[in-house]
Amino acid sequence: MDNKSIIKNMRADMQKGFRLLLDAYQEKLYWHLRRLLGSHDDASDALQETFIRIYRNFDSFKGDASALTSWIFRIATNEAMRMIERRPQPTAQIDDPTVQPLADEYVDYSDLEAVKLQNAILALPPKQRAVFNMRYYDELSYQEIADAVDTSVSAVKVNYHLAKEKIVNAIKS
Amino acid sequence: MSTLDQIGKRTPYKVPEGFFESSADLIMARIEQEPRKVVRSRFFTSFRAYAAAAAAAIIVVLGSIFIFNESNHVSLNELNDDFMRLSSADRDQILDMYEDDLFLNL
């Protein structure tokens, strides 16, 4: 289901249209939130709040189909940032491999390389983490990311390249 | 030594069995309890503004008429006093003039 059809359906019949949006974005947003927060429970809570906010605020969305993805990711990212501020997160230094911020029941710890990568990502400052994840995993354009985190395209590019450099160095060690 | 290219987009994260189905049901259940804001169309918004303006204009006009009438109102007692102050000749003339007036004698 494309964004244009989702918007059209939501404007014609909110409940039916919202279900289509939920089906199209639920998994994408869950993984986005999970990579930002680490914990399954936190990602699950943030996912619910994100969709409630989307539902409550859809009338204020005035953009076209191309703007829907960044609008949704913006709401999700803001929800994750609120959660990071509210709940004390495990702190980590990206250059200290002995500190492991990733501690959750739903993690395959046997995949050492992948765990190491996620620990490196979780050690990034939250906004840089969001920028890296949206570019690397979700493949959003620099413009979409800039809209989602309310910054300039050049600031997004700088943040992404800085984050990638830190991560590459961290997983090499 | 691993590189970002070797790991790619693989993550160690897992979700409980049936998580996305139950999560969608929970979200939809919460949505059904959410009050929806009623968004009025531009037509009705404009119509309401025009109706309010028209109602205000009617109140002003009727109010003015009422106030104007109040300020020019002469009570029957005042009319009677004025009539009695007239000379008897004038009173007779007025009575003769209005004796057969249909509206005054209803």
* ipTM for this prediction: 0.82
d(CA A89, CA B83): 97
pLDDT tens per residue, range A38-61: 999 999 999 999 999 999 999 889
Q: What angle do CA B75, B76, B78 make, to 5 degrees?
A: 65
Quote the pLDDT of residue A97: 47
Quote the pLDDT of residue A57: 92
Residue spans of chain B under pLDDT 50: 106
Quote the pLDDT of residue B78: 77
The structure tokens listed for A123 are 């050690």
- For residue B13, what is the DSSP state? B
Quote the pLDDT of residue B46: 63
d(CA A83, CA A45): 9
- Do the Cβ atoms of B3 and A14 come within 8 Å? no
Confidence of residue A92 (pLDDT cuts 50, 70, 90): low
d(CA A21, CA A4): 11
Domain count, chain B: 1
Quote the pLDDT of residue B93: 72
Quote the pLDDT of residue A127: 93
Closest CB to A27: pick one of B20, B26, B37: B20
Which structural domain range is residue B88 located in?
75-106
The structure tokens listed for A98 are 């002995």
> Which residue's entry shows tokens 């710890």?
A109
The structure tokens listed for A127 are 């906004």
From A48's Cα to the closest Cα of chain B, the distance in A is 6
d(CA A61, CA A63): 6
Quote the pLDDT of residue B63: 66
Q: Which residues of A touch B3 (CB under 8 A)?
A: 168, 171-172
Confidence of residue A64 (pLDDT cuts 50, 70, 90): confident
The structure tokens listed for A32 are 């986005």
Quote the pLDDT of residue A66: 86
Higher per-residue pLDDT: A21 or B45: A21
CATH number listed for the domain at residues A3-172? 1.10.1740.10
Confidence of residue A91 (pLDDT cuts 50, 70, 90): low
Closest CB to B4: pick one of A14, A26, A168: A168
pLDDT at A6 over 60: yes
Alpha helices, H only, chain A: 3-12, 14-37, 40-57, 65-86, 112-122, 126-136, 142-149, 153-172
CA nearest to A121, candidates A135, A108, A106, A110: A135
Quote the pLDDT of residue B33: 87
- Do the Cβ atoms of B14 and A15 come within 8 Å? no
Q: Which residues of A touch B30 (CB under 8 A)?
A: 48, 52
How many Cβ pairs within 8 Å bridge chains A and B? 91
pLDDT tens per residue, range A100-128: 556 678 999 889 899 999 999 999 999 99
pLDDT at A34 over 50: yes
- Report the amino acid identity of residue B75: S
Quote the pLDDT of residue B50: 66
